[in-house]
A and B are shown apart, each in its own frame.
Chain A
């Protein structure tokens, strides 16, 4: 089975621009979570989607948004980019949230650099 895929792997943007990142979960997985990873803050939870609905949301400003499609693929969007948004953005998929064997499987991440 193919793993979680994220595109693009690397992005360079300038302040004020917006960016869209994409995540394709493992086949059959219906839950997708997004994380921001930075050296100073570690892994910060952004949001989780299940069946096209946002289930949980972390403590990030409204510039960060996401959505999930009917095929479980997910996108996250960051508008009005700031220098501090430079980070590795990780996507994780799981079978069904709340399942007793719920495990998150991570993609390789998208490295976003804001200049």
Chain B
């Protein structure tokens, strides 16, 4: 079975500071990993995904994530936070042919 743990339900950063959102996964087989972002009153939008190619994955809006098998982690980072990055972020894991498992989400606040 697969599962995802997002450490920190709320993260606050200053505008221009580094954004680091943590995600650890559990999977008995090589997983696919995803980060999604949700803005208020909207659905989820795909930020980036890892599907066993390069371990450093670049996504939209300047976000990137690194797959670390030894640490079973897939943390999301952005070098410089922008006010528009304030949103809810979800990490998800899946294996081919199976359902997605989502973390409980991390709410990012950007302080001007």
A-B contact count (CB 8 A): 53
Mark interface residues in B38-70 (1 if CB within 8 Å of A CB, else 0).
000111111001010000000000000000000
Residues in A whose Cβ lies below 8 Å from that of B102: 35, 42-43, 45
Whether the pair B43, A103 counts as a contact (CB closer than 8 A) is no
Cα(A59)–Cα(B69), bound, Å: 29
Cα(A114)–Cα(B97), bound, Å: 34
* Count of chain B residues with a beta carbon within 8 Å of a chain A beta carbon: 23
Whether the pair B44, A106 counts as a contact (CB closer than 8 A) is yes
Taking a contact as CB atoms closer than 8 A, the residue among B41, B43, B51, B104 that contacts A100 in the complex is B51
Taking a contact as CB atoms closer than 8 A, the residue among B34, B42, B49, B51 that contacts A108 in the complex is B42
Whether the pair B46, A105 counts as a contact (CB closer than 8 A) is yes
Taking a contact as CB atoms closer than 8 A, the residue among B34, B49, B104 that contacts A42 in the complex is B104
Whether the pair A33, B99 counts as a contact (CB closer than 8 A) is yes
- Interface residues, chain A, with chain B CB atoms under 8 Å away: 4, 6, 33, 35, 42-43, 45, 48, 56, 58, 90, 92, 97-109, 111
- Interface residues, chain B, with chain A CB atoms under 8 Å away: 32, 34, 36, 41-46, 49, 51, 90, 94, 96-105
